[in-house]
């Protein structure tokens, strides 16, 4: 079985809900042992319990190196090592271009940019210590491929994720560490509820789901994405089926952006 993840030791940040939770479920269903890590520890623990089996949980703040290091150490101690790390935690913010403040920029870049850098560094250090190689998967976005006006700083942070993915792939191929990214499109999660609200708050849409439906209409497969649409690709990137792939950004968006 090319996607059989038996024996794979995985970590998913932002795993308590949304896309991360569905990635964690998919990985566990394919046989991986999974650490669900999230800023919301209670929700992470509830998600791990719901997934069951050997799934464990911990709190992490991806902006803080000591917290990320402790997360990797938790997985390594419990599972005997780490093979696949999903840097998935992220935040979004809607701001008209001219209204983006320095504080907005730092808030978004801290989680989406710096958080992914730290997550990659600590995962790669662990994989190099093990000498086993591994797979790192970062959650970017269609906004990491195109700039979207009321999400300009969010888009910049996701372009940063793509750059970090490519740079690390070049740096650590010799260590058999693969680094790829998933670019979701418009996914029905709490994040999009917040984005939809942001459009209304800024007078960019007038009714609930107008922005969501408007963006989702761009998918040639004819529907918005569900978080579980990301699970199969997550398993593929963690497993042997993608063994010769690195530095790639996979658009999993129902056909919104063609690369």
Ligand X SMILES: NC(=O)c1ccc[n+]([C@@H]2O[C@H](COP(=O)([O-])OP(=O)(O)OC[C@H]3O[C@@H](n4cnc5c(N)ncnc54)[C@H](O)[C@@H]3O)[C@@H](O)[C@H]2O)c1
Q: Please report how close the Cβ of residue 158 comes to ligand X at its closest, in angstroms.
A: 7
Pick one of 52, 98, 131, 190: the residue that binds ligand X (CB under 6 A): 190
φ, ψ of residue 204 to 5 degrees: the values are: -95, -10
Task: Tell me the C-alpha distance between 121 and 69, whole Å.
Answer: 9
Q: Encoding tokens for residue 96?
A: 């008209």
**Site membership for ligand X, residue 198 (CB under 6 A):** no
- Report CA torsion sign: 77, 21, 163, 112: negative
Of 86, 154, 172, 199, which is the active-site residue?
154
Q: Hey, is 34 helix, strand or coil?
A: strand
φ, ψ of residue 25 to 5 degrees: the values are: -60, -45
**Site membership for ligand X, residue 141 (CB under 6 A):** yes
Question: By C-beta, is 126 or 155 nearer to ligand X?
Answer: 155
Pair 184, 142: CB distance under 8 Å: yes
How far out from the chain centre does Cα 259 lie?
19
Q: Please report how close the Cβ of residue 3 comes to ligand X at its closest, in angstroms.
A: 21
**What is residue 143's DSSP assignment?**
G
Q: Which stretch binds ligand X (CB under 6 A): 55-63, 95-103, 199-207, 237-245?
A: 55-63
**Site membership for ligand X, residue 26 (CB under 6 A):** no
**Site membership for ligand X, residue 48 (CB under 6 A):** no
Task: Tell me the C-alpha distance between 212 and 192, whole Å.
Answer: 7
Start-end of H helices in the chain = 18-29, 41-51, 65-79, 102-109, 115-130, 152-172, 190-201, 210-216, 231-238
Which parts of 151-180 interact with ligand X (CB under 6 A)? none
Pick one of 62, 71, 162, 177: the residue that binds ligand X (CB under 6 A): 62
Task: Tell me the C-alpha distance between 157 and 134, whole Å.
Answer: 24
Question: By C-beta, is 6 or 208 nearer to ligand X?
Answer: 208
How far out from the chain centre does Cα 109 lie?
14
Pick one of 5, 14, 71, 216: the residue that binds ligand X (CB under 6 A): 14
Which parts of 71-110 interact with ligand X (CB under 6 A)? 88-92
Question: How many residues sit close enough to ligand X to count as binding (CB under 6 A)?
Answer: 30
Q: Please report how close the Cβ of residue 1 comes to ligand X at its closest, in angstroms.
A: 27
Is 148 a catalytic site residue? no
Pick one of 61, 122, 196, 229: the residue that binds ligand X (CB under 6 A): 61
Task: Tell me the C-alpha distance between 33 and 20, whole Å.
Answer: 15
**Site membership for ligand X, residue 17 (CB under 6 A):** yes
Catalytic residue numbers, as ranges: 154
Q: Which residues bind ligand X (CB under 6 A)?
A: 13-14, 16-20, 38-40, 60-63, 88-92, 111, 115, 139, 141, 184, 186-187, 189-192
């Amino acid at each position: 079985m090319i996607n059989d993840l038996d024996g794979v030791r995985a970590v998913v940040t932002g795993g308590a809900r949304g896309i991360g939770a569905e990635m964690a479920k998919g990985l566990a269903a394919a046989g991986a042992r999974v650490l669900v890590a999230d800023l919301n520890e209670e929700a992470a623990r509830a998600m791990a319990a719901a997934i069951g089996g050997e799934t464990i949980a911990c709190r992490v703040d991806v902006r803080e190196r000591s917290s990320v290091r402790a997360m990797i150490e938790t997985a390594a101690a419990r599972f005997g090592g780490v093979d696949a790390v999903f840097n998935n935690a992220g935040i979004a913010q809607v701001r008209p271009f001219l209204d983006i403040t320095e504080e907005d920029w730092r808030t978004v870049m801290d989680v989406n940019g710096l958080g992914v850098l730290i997550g990659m560094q600590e995962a790669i250090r662990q994989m190099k210590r093990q000498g086993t190689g591994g797979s790192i998967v970062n959650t970017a976005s269609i906004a990491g491929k195109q700039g979207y006006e009321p999400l300009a700083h969010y888009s910049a942070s996701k372009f940063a994720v793509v750059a970090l993915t490519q740079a690390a792939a070049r740096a650590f191929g010799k260590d058999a560490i693969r680094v790829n990214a998933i670019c979701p499109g418009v996914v029905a999660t709490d994040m999009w509820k917040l984005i939809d609200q942001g459009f209304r708050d800024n007078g960019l849409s007038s009714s609930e789901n107008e922005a969501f439906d408007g963006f989702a209409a761009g998918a040639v497969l004819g529907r918005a994405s569900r978080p579980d649409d990301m699970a199969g690709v997550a398993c593929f990137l963690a497993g042997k089926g993608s063994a010769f792939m690195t530095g790639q950004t996979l658009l999993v968006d129902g056909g919104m952006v063609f690369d």
